[in-house]
Structure 1
Amino acid sequence: MKKSYIFPIIISFFCVYLWSVISSEEPVIRGDGNEYYLMTESFLNHGSPELLNQDILSAKAKSERDSFTIPYIDNKTISGYYESRDGKEYSYHFFSYSLTVLPFKLISEAFGLNDVKSFYLANVFFLVMAVSVIALGKNSFSIKISLMLMAIFGPGVFYVDWTHPEVLTYSLLFMGVSFYFSGGRRIFYLLFALASFQNPPVILFSSSILFIDLLRAYKDKKYATTFQSIAITGASLIPSVFYLYHYGSPNLIAREGFSDIANISFERVFGLFFSPASGLIIYNSALLLAFIICITLAVICRKNLTYNMAMIFGILIAVCAGATTHNWNSGMDNIIRYAVWIYPLICMFIISVSARYCVHISLFNAIVFVLSTSFVTNLNYVYFNSLSQFIIDKMPRLLAVDYETFCENTAHQDGYIEFNGINSYPCLALDSSNNVRVIYTNMPSFRRFISQESNYSYNDRLNEIVDEQLQKDEFSYIYLPKNVMKRTRYSWNGSDLPSLVGRSNHSGEMLSNGIEGFVTYGPYIKLQPGKYQATIEYTCNGSSDCGYWDIVAGSDGVLHKGSIINASQGKITSKFELLDGQQDKPVEIRTNYNNLDSKLVIKRISIKILD
């Protein structure tokens, strides 16, 4: 078979895979997708990214027609939009991605497709275009096949069903890398400038290379091409000019406090690469290993040293710039979103240093990627995935996770620190046997927790370990051996649980409100396989039963069910068991009110661990 035949075969299989993904997915607006969706709707209605009332009304009509939800659409102030100096409303995310989706929105309208899938179609087009541009480029066969495999078996494919610009940025960067190696310097700078419209830190990487180009141009007295590259790179300032004109600030995200240099930390920078909870290492560990080896080779061999060092520096400052964000552990698909646009930069560096072995590296990366998708499960950004849980079980000191991600994964709550305050509660990671293995806290918070908490048992070794590892007022991680501290139960006040027909009181209870339905449901907790006992404390005042209770394990349905009988100090207990394979099923204990002649009060619900 001729080598040229390989490219269309790869692209065909890639298209089939991507189409299967977007065909099987229920249309959902994820992340900041409400802004991108509304901006596309604005462009469709009046050719401008400005948000008008007609855009909100038409978006609502389409969401009802196609059965999808637009977050914050009913809020008085829509999240992500701010009033400009001339009284107009624009999103604090730039509109270039929404503009590129517009043709696909027109296609969706013409063929009667679900409106959200216009974003999916656009993302598929961007990825296929990137792989096709690489295949049709002027690079050698080895570089072409390497870039194609790296792009296909990389984090960008996870975001094809997101209403988000990660795939666009990913595709533009891979096309830019292809032109870099084929000598198309100006196109390389243009594509990186376009990518920076949505993810500004990538321009720091291309600017690092541009700086070396400028030094060489000065040395060789050949300025024309370099000055053109500088002008092209300057296009990256277009979003800043837009926001400066409308808001008097070049960066609306920073102005509103969602980005700050103080947020940069070693844990974030290191974690983007090596965090088992959200980093590149989850699926692209082979490529990261090659990256580390190539850094060493670049220093030792010194071939093309200036450009290779510029790439390393560019990757580092781009990661640091991304780490300034306020919400680091934002919604993600498999790995953190910021890693999506760092990945192509790493690929570029590896090929630059090791072009001779890039095919081997890309093949090894593809194999490891496919294997990892089979083994890494429980992919939810507020839960530890199976890889992280394995590390907590076996080697907790290797859990390289920043404290925001750690606390949100242990509390299973987005924005846990922001809403609760880090001083209010230590963050505890449990192994598969409910032993506490890692704690993030300081001494005052920990002492307060121990004095008040009844859901854990512990022995005398705990105080010794805490005194040894924890400074008084400084927050840090504590690592515990097994059987020192163990969770024995979970408990929630009635008012802590979601409700459809209830109202909470100051005593922490949830009261029926004279309407039939679920007074409480949730808490959607994921438990390890084992035996448990659920307890519902309540009062039911009336002539007969107030309703029923049940225990539900996700899609597996009802495990147990019973009546809520008339009682002034009622207590219902029910044992249940979760089997292997049910640890990813969110458990609910629901209370349903269906007797309008009675009054139901849910005081407390708890789950006791029996083994």
Structure 2
Amino acid sequence: MQTPASLSPTPAWRFPLLVALALAALLATYKPYYGGDVVEYTLATVAIADHGSPDIRLEDIARVRALLPGMFTEPFDLLEQGMRAGEQKLYAAFVRGREGSVFPVHYFGYSLLAAGPFKLFEALGIPPFKAFQAVNLLAVFALALALRRFFGSEAKAWLGLGLFMLCGGVLYLHWSSPECVSAACLLAGLLLYASGAPVAGSLLAGLAGQQNPTIVFFFVFAPLFKLWLDYDRALGFGANLRAQLTRRNLAGLAAGAALFALPPLFNLWQFGVPNIIAKLFSDPALVGATRLASFYFDLNQGMIIGVPGLVLALLVLVLRPRADGRARGALLLAALLTLALALPALAVLNWNSGAAGVMRYAFWAAMPLVFALLVLLRRLPRWPAGLQVVLAGLAAIQAVAMLHAQRYDYVHFSPAAVRMLTWAPQYYHPEPEIFAERAGNHDNYIQPDKHYVLQREGVAVKTLVHASNLQLDAQLCGQGARLAPDLPVTPSAYGWRYIDGPLRCVAGSQPQRSFQYDAFKTGTAAALVSGWSTLEANGPGWNGAWSLGTRSRVRLRLEGGPAESLLIAGHYLAPNRQTRVVVNGQDLGWQALDQAGLLPLPPAARAATLDIELEHATPQAPGPGDPRPLAFFLREISVRQLPGKP
């Protein structure tokens, strides 16, 4: 890597003092925004400040209620009721540890940092939860110092700080959640490691990764960046590699990894798993092309919403005829690091979660791209007038992006998405959860037995439906009618599909029969013959029975015409994802029953009595206290019949 330019002969204290004064002015001017996982972090901060431990007690809830009167009443009520009743399963964001103590599902590192400022501000009569802003601003201060070291220039460090703010920093600076800390510390860590400060850089990255664990990939990519940027072709690969494996570099990586390891060690001690959030609130089956495209390109919360100017600037600089090949390689590594940060995040259950424009994951995952641009700028011997015009354009585009992000919240479509849905809805199909919640202006679970419609002036623009919803015709067309078969349909993910444009119905409907919990319990028309556990009544969506072992059989007896097709609805226990279906001896193949929708029956299988055999590939015990080999939870079997008598 090129050596930084000589520092200007200005006092060393001037830059940090000016940055500190600017950040203090922001702290004094703006109120904290209580967004994200604020219920967890406020309670954990009070707990650490008051009794020196992160376990949540009833008096902590009372304290936060008093400090935030009228806010988050329902979560506090649910948590308090569960704690008083001694319930094992509490309000979703909290779990019991090994001795029955209550902890937030998110690690308490961010709250630990905020506990000191909290006590100080409370003693001074300052709103104590401005402590979160103080922690965020301290992370930005560390980033400013890293930028000055990286560039060796105060002016360029200020520009770098402005770039961070315009790439999402300004959106999350005052949030009571750790997104700003994760983003600023990740970027600062990359800058410091690349400029020869591996211990400080790795420690900041370890701190960033405590709340967002995919940042662990820093410890793979930071050494690769340094190796690539410092690479001397005359020495050969072995000598270059040995030059990076210094005691200082290794000690820095080890120290940062140790700091990063504190949350998984705490989780193992208290909950028996490295990451309680991954266990309770993620599903690897959600990782796929739909969410990956959404992460980067969704017009409501994708990364492109937060960094359009940054992406354009990178393309302009690396596609120049005389572009630096070393810088192009750095951009490729940055893109790979961004992808590594994104992929694990795709498994989260709550995809359309609280955000300030660009989703929280995409904000800090964009920092490697910011780092790549800073590397490009540092490697230029001078900044010609053309480059200055590019930077000005970058700043203007990014400023517009930040203004755009502040015009809507996470349960409404962005202005950009509204324009796309108005002018060209057939080309834009958001990830299903994003569409369902923003079309209905609510934050709730998306349910396969419902449909979600976006209307303009009373006319459907786009309708989201699930393949397993056999009541869809009746819901949208009424009894005795069905949706026109030639409507434009676009498949999405997890069994969801979009109907583009106005809905049309045609006369006529097909006889169908649904068998659920009551029918299984009676056992007359629908009998669970073998391979099933006891019927369970756990509420809507969870009334039914778990499969037991590798094979399960069901027998259905129909009145009227023979079956033409059937739908088997339910849920899987990971790692099971598919089931082999055999009906009346006819093999229908392996099917993802939670997504497949109607399964057409071959003529040889069509009858008034259906003998259905389900084969499960990998039955699993759900936990140490439940040794049953489970795979699929059967909720409903619906059958469409041919008219007439068999």
Taking the TM superposition and a 5 Å limit, the aligned residue runs for 1:256-335 are 256=280, 258-292=281-315, 302-303=325-326, 307-335=330-358
2:193–2:222 contact (8 Å) kept in structure 1: no
State the distance in 1 between where 2:227 and 2:403 align.
46
**For 1:170, what is the secondary structure of its paired residue?**
helix
How big is each residue's C-alpha offset from its partner over 1:233-289, in whole Å with a ceiling of 9 and x where there is no partner? 422222111111222211111222x12322222232222232111123334311122
Partner of 2:264: 240
How big is each residue's C-alpha offset from its partner over 1:191-227, in whole Å with a ceiling of 9 and x where there is no partner? 1111001111122144223357689885443432342
Classify 1:385/1:305 alpha carbon distance in 2 versus 1 (closer, same or farther; 3 Å): closer
Task: Tell me by how many angstroms 1:166 deviates.
Answer: 0.9
Task: Tell me by how many angstroms 1:325 deviates.
Answer: 1.2
What letter is aligned with 1:155?
Answer: G
Task: Tell me by how many angstroms 1:441 deviates.
Answer: 2.4
Partner of 1:440: 464
* Residue from 27, 34, 37 that aligns with 1:32: 37
* Residue from 374, 398, 421 that aligns with 1:369: 398
* Residue from 77, 90, 93 that aligns with 1:80: 93
Task: Tell me by how many angstroms 1:177 deviates.
Answer: 3.5
Partner of 1:54: 59
Partner of 1:44: 49
State the distance in 1 between where 2:345 and 2:468 align.
32
Partner of 2:580: none
**For 2:358, what is the secondary structure of its paired residue?**
coil
Task: Tell me by how many angstroms 1:158 deviates.
Answer: 1.4
**For 2:187, what is the secondary structure of its paired residue?**
helix
2:286–2:346 contact (8 Å) kept in structure 1: yes
2:465–2:498 contact (8 Å) kept in structure 1: yes
Classify 1:18/1:401 alpha carbon distance in 2 versus 1 (closer, same or farther; 3 Å): farther
State the distance in 2 between where 1:412 and 1:16 align.
35
1:189 aligns with 2:202: yes
1:426 aligns with 2:439: no
2:429–2:498 contact (8 Å) kept in structure 1: no
Taking the TM superposition and a 5 Å limit, the aligned residue runs for 1:352-391 are 352-353=375-376, 355=378, 356=380, 362-374=391-403, 378-391=407-420
**For 1:428, what is the secondary structure of its paired residue?**
strand
State the distance in 2 between where 1:392 and 1:348 align.
34
Task: Tell me by how many angstroms 1:394 deviates.
Answer: 1.0
Task: Tell me by how many angstroms 1:308 deviates.
Answer: 4.2
1:479 aligns with 2:488: no
Question: Which piece of structure 1 moves more, 398-407 or 462-471?
Answer: 462-471
Partner of 1:20: 29
Task: Tell me by how many angstroms 1:91 deviates.
Answer: 1.8
What letter is aligned with 2:76?
Answer: I
Where does structure 1 lack aligned partners over 5 or more consecutive residues?
487-611
**For 1:430, what is the secondary structure of its paired residue?**
strand
State the distance in 1 between where 2:21 and 2:218 align.
32
State the distance in 2 between where 1:201 and 1:85 align.
26
Where does structure 2 lack aligned partners over 5 or more consecutive residues?
1-7, 83-89, 232-236, 506-646
Q: Count matched residues.
A: 465
Task: Tell me by how many angstroms 1:6 deviates.
Answer: 9.5
2:148–2:156 contact (8 Å) kept in structure 1: no
What letter is aligned with 1:425?
Answer: K
Task: Tell me by how many angstroms 1:106 deviates.
Answer: 1.3
TM-score by length of 2: 0.64
Partner of 2:278: 254
Task: Tell me by how many angstroms 1:373 deviates.
Answer: 4.4
**For 1:150, what is the secondary structure of its paired residue?**
helix
**For 2:186, what is the secondary structure of its paired residue?**
helix
TM-score by length of 1: 0.67
What letter is aligned with 1:427?
Answer: Y
State the distance in 2 between where 1:376 and 1:166 align.
16
Classify 1:185/1:139 alpha carbon distance in 2 versus 1 (closer, same or farther; 3 Å): farther
State the distance in 2 between where 1:70 and 1:163 align.
17
Partner of 1:590: none
Classify 1:293/1:205 alpha carbon distance in 2 versus 1 (closer, same or farther; 3 Å): farther
Task: Tell me by how many angstroms 1:466 deviates.
Answer: 1.9
Task: Tell me by how many angstroms 1:467 deviates.
Answer: 5.9
Task: Tell me by how many angstroms 1:388 deviates.
Answer: 1.0
Classify 1:308/1:132 alpha carbon distance in 2 versus 1 (closer, same or farther; 3 Å): closer
Report percent identity of matched pairs: 21
Classify 1:169/1:292 alpha carbon distance in 2 versus 1 (closer, same or farther; 3 Å): same
What letter is aligned with 1:57?
Answer: A
Task: Tell me by how many angstroms 1:330 deviates.
Answer: 0.7
**For 1:303, what is the secondary structure of its paired residue?**
helix
1:268–1:402 contact (8 Å) kept in structure 2: yes
State the distance in 2 between where 1:443 and 1:227 align.
53
State the distance in 1 between where 2:29 and 2:156 align.
28
- Superposed CA RMSD in Å reads 3.7
Classify 1:68/1:6 alpha carbon distance in 2 versus 1 (closer, same or farther; 3 Å): same
What letter is aligned with 1:74?
Answer: D
1:171 aligns with 2:184: yes
1:143–1:359 contact (8 Å) kept in structure 2: no
Partner of 1:403: 432
What letter is aligned with 1:303?
Answer: R
State the distance in 2 between where 1:399 and 1:321 align.
24
1:206–1:314 contact (8 Å) kept in structure 2: no
State the distance in 1 between where 2:101 and 2:489 align.
57
State the distance in 1 between where 2:463 and 2:315 align.
30
2:317–2:323 contact (8 Å) kept in structure 1: no
How big is each residue's C-alpha offset from its partner over 1:407-442, in whole Å with a ceiling of 9 and x where there is no partner? 11112221331xxx22x22322334x4432223324
How big is each residue's C-alpha offset from its partner over 1:545-573, in whole Å with a ceiling of 9 and x where there is no partner? xxxxxxxxxxxxxxxxxxxxxxxxxxxxx
Taking the TM superposition and a 5 Å limit, the aligned residue runs for 1:543-582 are none
State the distance in 2 between where 1:278 and 1:248 align.
34
**For 1:439, what is the secondary structure of its paired residue?**
strand
State the distance in 2 between where 1:142 and 1:115 align.
34
**For 1:329, what is the secondary structure of its paired residue?**
coil
Partner of 1:490: none
Partner of 1:573: none
Question: Which piece of structure 1 moves more, 124-133 or 99-108?
Answer: 124-133
How big is each residue's C-alpha offset from its partner over 1:90-133, in whole Å with a ceiling of 9 and x where there is no partner? 22211111011112211221122333333234334433453355
**For 1:334, what is the secondary structure of its paired residue?**
coil
Task: Tell me by how many angstroms 1:143 deviates.
Answer: 4.8
